[in-house]
Amino acid sequence: MPILGTMKLQHSSKPRIPCVHAYAALARVNKYPEDFCHKLLTIESYKETYKYHINPIPG
């Protein structure tokens, strides 16, 4: 999924964070960069992923 303003130098189909140029353009039109990031790149998603702790099995 392409994300608005990601740099062309980054060749990947993975979700990315918008580049600094995109942040500047979004700020100029009073938009929030968070609205243009993939859901997987949010703090909430990170916390949801790592909310459980798994203890190692002694071996």
pTM above 0.85, yes or no: no
Judge whether 22 and 36 are in contact, CB under 8 Å: yes
Contacts of 18 (CB under 8 A, 6+ apart): 3, 4, 5, 6, 26, 33, 36, 37
pLDDT of 2-52, one tens digit each?
Answer: 444 544 444 456 666 678 888 888 889 999 888 887 888 888 899 999 999
**pLDDT at 58 exceeding the cut of 80:** yes
**pLDDT at 1 exceeding the cut of 70:** no
pLDDT at 54: 85
pLDDT at 14: 61
pLDDT at 28: 93
